[in-house]
Amino acid sequence: MGLLSDPNRRKALTGLLTRLNTPICIVCYLAGIVWFMGLAFEPFTLRTYMSENAMGSTMVEERFSSGERALSLAKEFDAHKRQARGMPVEWLVKAMQSRGLEVFTQSFSRKLPFPDENKERYMVRGTNVYGILRAPRAPRTEALVITAPCSPGNTNNQAVALLLALAQYFRNQIYWAKDIIFLVNEHDLIGTQAWLEGYHHTNITGMEYSPLQGRAGSIQAALSLELSSDVITSLDLVLEGLNGQLPNLDLANLFYAFCQKLGVLCTIQGKLQRNDWDTAEGYTHAAQTMMLMVLKQACGRSWGDHGLFLRYHIEAASVRGINSFRHYKTDATTIGRLLEGMVRKLNNLLERLHQSYFFYLLPSLSRFVSIGYYMPAFGLLAVILLLRVSFPGLCHCFSVSLQPSSPGVLTVLTPVVISHLTGVALYLLPVHLQEMAVEHFPVSETEAVVLTAIAIYTAGLALPHNTQRLLSGEGTEQGWKVLKLTALLYLAVLLGCTALINFSLGFILAVTLVPITASITPHMPKALYAVVMVLLSPAFTILYCVFIYQELIEAPVSVSEGWMLFLSVISQGILDHALYGSLVYPLLALFIYPCWLMFWNILFWN
């Protein structure tokens, strides 16, 4: 470490950092944003390719032909569903048994912490029905799962019917090396969570379920099917799972390869790929697709029934049939052939999918950006924090604060502890105080929870004015510098750890938090800076993301509708955490918000 221990070079380096600190920070920030936006530019991306050898070398003729039978089955299923006013369990069990599967059911129940207004449920009770097709020749140590949700109303009837038709076709084949489980789950994600917890003997979310009577071995891959019409124009692939986890890219490559082979239009984020990458519209299209993926990954919820499988290290993806206004229609037989082909390729796997990337961004289905290309964008933003930390004024403070006589450490401790206690209050109180809030105010439980959260968030803004009075020896130059040093390091470590697990969340938080936190001092004009800080706080970031998301899916909303959507996003976030173990809400409440509060404290230091 000659650079750091040679005093002359050290002085030169610190001099450079002092003089050029702000310009370097600005350049890094702009470079980070430009790098990120440039990721969607096609020459900077790589073409997707199949990495797993076991999936690449077979030439298979798909022979599924029971598409019409599937459609009539769909009508039958719809009729029974209406009659049973929920899931027609007996009909499903009989249908699967007549197709030669080993059928089992699982019942589950869950009381949500507060009513879910989007899906209108509070006390959820349901049954999952699954049939196992045993592999005829191989030892039964591995399994594949194909799942279709049983949704209320007219949705997903064709999916369940296609599932049953595929089961019948698969039963007659002899080449299966893995068991295949055909799962029909009720109440979408809650049913899938109950089934997975029962299968793996875990209980991480407090669900009550009956134990599974039949098992099939270690699940290697899963496919979720959502099909609501007899003919479709395109198939959409959904990859984002819980906490922003993505399946192995090979699964997306597999889907794309089969769409090409069978001539089915395939989309990602609902957008079709364009060929004109050198025009402005082409680039914007790719950038929009990538931004949609980033936003969906950042919110940490599972965007299809497949998302919960990823936590158990099972590569899973959702295939959704879309029927829009296009000339060329695809029928159920072709979809069946596509699924047959995919499952046959997955059948050939010798080990779990691990050859291709786990961390990537997709500007289109045939192009991808790997972690090595997108991480520098985040790195450039994180470097700003580190540059600010090593700013010599701050660094000197650290060595001074180690002296026992200066009160530096204790004055820092109080804002840190109070900010974290506010964070804990933001995490615990909204759900626990909902009964009290409903008694005193004319709101429903969901509104009570969301409004309590917003109230605690806003109440935290009033803290600095009160804590300063409690401390003695306040308002010292030393004090705020030590606090800023601690807060910058804390933010850097926090954002780094977040970006490793969920890059999109880390990046979005970095884009909004880094500029204000790097430049904050108590000597700035307070009113202006306070407004800017509030506008760039985590809650407003969520609001902007809601508006941007609506713009990108071409369904722009007005301000009031956007506000309602924002409130529902908060309630969904809290529910996702309680039901499936999503980490976005605890991260924001317990770590990001207290960190932001510490910077808010610095602004109002004297």
Partner 1 sequence: MAAPLTLLLIVAVTIRAVLFRSSLAELISARVEVVSPLNAWKRVVEGLALLDLGVSPYSGDVFHETPLMIYLFHFTVDYAEIVFIVSAYFFRKQKYALESDRYSADCLELLRSPKEMFYIPLKVAMFYLLNPFTILSCVAKSTCGLNNAIIALFIFCTLKGSALLSGILLALATYQSIYPLTLFAPALLFFLQRLYIPVNLRRSSFWFFTLQYAFMYVGSLVVITGLSFFLLGSWDFIPSVYGFIFSVPDLTPNIGLFWYFFAEMFEHFRLFFSCVFQFNVFFYTIPLSIKLKEHPVFLIFMQIAIISIFKSYPTVGDVALYMAFLPAWSHLYRFLRNIFLVSCVLLACSALFPVLWHLWIYAGSANSNFYYAITLLFNFGQVKVFTTTWLTNCEWKNRWRNKVSLFINLY
Which of residues 63, 82, 94, 354 is near partner 1 by CB under 8 A? 354
* Least spacing, CB of residue 443 vs partner 1, in Å: 31
Task: Indicate whether 399 belongs to the interface with partner 1 (CB under 8 A).
Answer: yes
Task: Indicate whether 19 belongs to the interface with partner 1 (CB under 8 A).
Answer: no
Task: Indicate whether 122 belongs to the interface with partner 1 (CB under 8 A).
Answer: no
DSSP state of 140: S
Specify the pairing of strand 315-322 against strand 234-238: antiparallel
- Of the candidate spans 101-109, 152-160, 419-427, 492-500, the one that interacts with partner 1 by CB under 8 A turns out to be 492-500
Residues 93, 99: Cα–Cα separation, whole Å: 10
C-beta closer to partner 1: residue 172 or 405: 405
Helix (H, G, I), strand (E, B) or coil at 260: helix
* Least spacing, CB of residue 500 vs partner 1, in Å: 5
- Of the candidate spans 163-171, 219-227, 351-359, 452-460, the one that interacts with partner 1 by CB under 8 A turns out to be 351-359
User: What residues from 222 to 251 belong to the interface with partner 1 (CB under 8 A)?
Assistant: 245
- Of the candidate spans 78-86, 114-122, 485-493, 532-540, the one that interacts with partner 1 by CB under 8 A turns out to be 485-493
C-beta closer to partner 1: residue 261 or 313: 313
Which of residues 26, 138, 231, 395 is near partner 1 by CB under 8 A? 395
C-beta closer to partner 1: residue 84 or 204: 204
C-beta closer to partner 1: residue 437 or 587: 587
- Of the candidate spans 15-23, 95-103, 486-494, 557-565, the one that interacts with partner 1 by CB under 8 A turns out to be 486-494
Which of residues 38, 376, 496, 562 is near partner 1 by CB under 8 A? 496
C-beta closer to partner 1: residue 139 or 404: 404
Task: Indicate whether 8 belongs to the interface with partner 1 (CB under 8 A).
Answer: no
C-beta closer to partner 1: residue 60 or 402: 402
* Least spacing, CB of residue 386 vs partner 1, in Å: 9
Residue 546: enclosing H or E segment and its boundaries?
A: helix 538-552
* Least spacing, CB of residue 545 vs partner 1, in Å: 24
Which of residues 272, 493, 565, 578 is near partner 1 by CB under 8 A? 493
Which of residues 398, 540, 544, 547 is near partner 1 by CB under 8 A? 398
Quote the tokens at residue 241: 């799972």
Task: Indicate whether 352 belongs to the interface with partner 1 (CB under 8 A).
Answer: yes
CA angle 226, 230, 232 (to 5 degrees): 70
With CB under 8 A, what is the number of residues at the site for partner 1? 27
Residue pair 275/384 in contact (Cβ under 8 Å)? The answer is: no
C-beta closer to partner 1: residue 113 or 282: 113
C-beta closer to partner 1: residue 485 or 546: 485
For the CA atoms of 202, 208, 210, 214, what is the dihedral angle to 10 degrees?
-30
**Cβ neighbours for 544, distance < 8 A, ≥ 6 positions apart:** none
Which of residues 359, 391, 580, 593 is near partner 1 by CB under 8 A? 359
C-beta closer to partner 1: residue 148 or 589: 589
Residue pair 584/592 in contact (Cβ under 8 Å)? The answer is: no
Task: Indicate whether 59 belongs to the interface with partner 1 (CB under 8 A).
Answer: no
Backbone torsion region of residue 425, taken as left when φ is above 0, otherwise alpha when ψ lies between -120 and 50, otherwise beta: alpha
User: What residues from 253 to 272 belong to the interface with partner 1 (CB under 8 A)?
Assistant: none
CA angle 71, 72, 75 (to 5 degrees): 95
CA atoms within 13 A on the CB side of 596: 31
Residues 455, 449: Cα–Cα separation, whole Å: 10
Sketch the per residue contact string, 500 through 529, with partner 1: x for CB under 8 A, - otherwise: xx----------------------------
C-beta closer to partner 1: residue 497 or 535: 497
Residue 68: enclosing H or E segment and its boundaries?
A: helix 67-84
Residue-wise DSSP of 403-472: SSSS-HHHHHHHHHHHHHHHHHHHHHHHHHTHHHHHHHSS--HHHHHHHHHHHHHHHHTTHHHHHHHHSS
* Least spacing, CB of residue 222 vs partner 1, in Å: 14
Which of residues 26, 112, 489, 578 is near partner 1 by CB under 8 A? 489
Cα separation values, 443 from 104, 117, 566, Å: 42, 13, 17
Task: Indicate whether 13 belongs to the interface with partner 1 (CB under 8 A).
Answer: no
* Least spacing, CB of residue 82 vs partner 1, in Å: 41
* Least spacing, CB of residue 161 vs partner 1, in Å: 34
CA atoms within 13 A on the CB side of 327: 0
Cα separation values, 422 from 411, 425, 428, Å: 18, 5, 10
Residues 540, 537: Cα–Cα separation, whole Å: 6
* CA-atom Rg of the chain in angstroms: 27
* Least spacing, CB of residue 428 vs partner 1, in Å: 13
* Least spacing, CB of residue 525 vs partner 1, in Å: 31
- Of the candidate spans 72-80, 330-338, 396-404, 593-601, the one that interacts with partner 1 by CB under 8 A turns out to be 396-404
Task: Indicate whether 472 belongs to the interface with partner 1 (CB under 8 A).
Answer: no
Which of residues 19, 63, 94, 313 is near partner 1 by CB under 8 A? 313
Task: Indicate whether 372 belongs to the interface with partner 1 (CB under 8 A).
Answer: no
Cα separation values, 99 from 23, 92, 128, 173, Å: 70, 11, 18, 13
Q: What is the 3-state secondary structure (H, E, C) of 519-545?
A: HCCCCCCHHHHHHHHHHCCHHHHHHHH
Task: Indicate whether 200 belongs to the interface with partner 1 (CB under 8 A).
Answer: no
CB neighbour burial string for 172-193, b if at least 16 within 10 angstroms, e if fewer: eeeebbbbbbbbbbbbbbbbbb
Residues 329, 165: Cα–Cα separation, whole Å: 20
C-beta closer to partner 1: residue 149 or 247: 247
Residues 408, 400: Cα–Cα separation, whole Å: 9
C-beta closer to partner 1: residue 352 or 420: 352
Task: Indicate whether 3 belongs to the interface with partner 1 (CB under 8 A).
Answer: no
| Residues that bind partner 1 in the complex, under the rule CB under 8 A | 1, 4-5, 245, 310-311, 313, 352, 354, 358-359, 389, 395, 398-399, 402-405, 489, 492-494, 496-497, 500-501
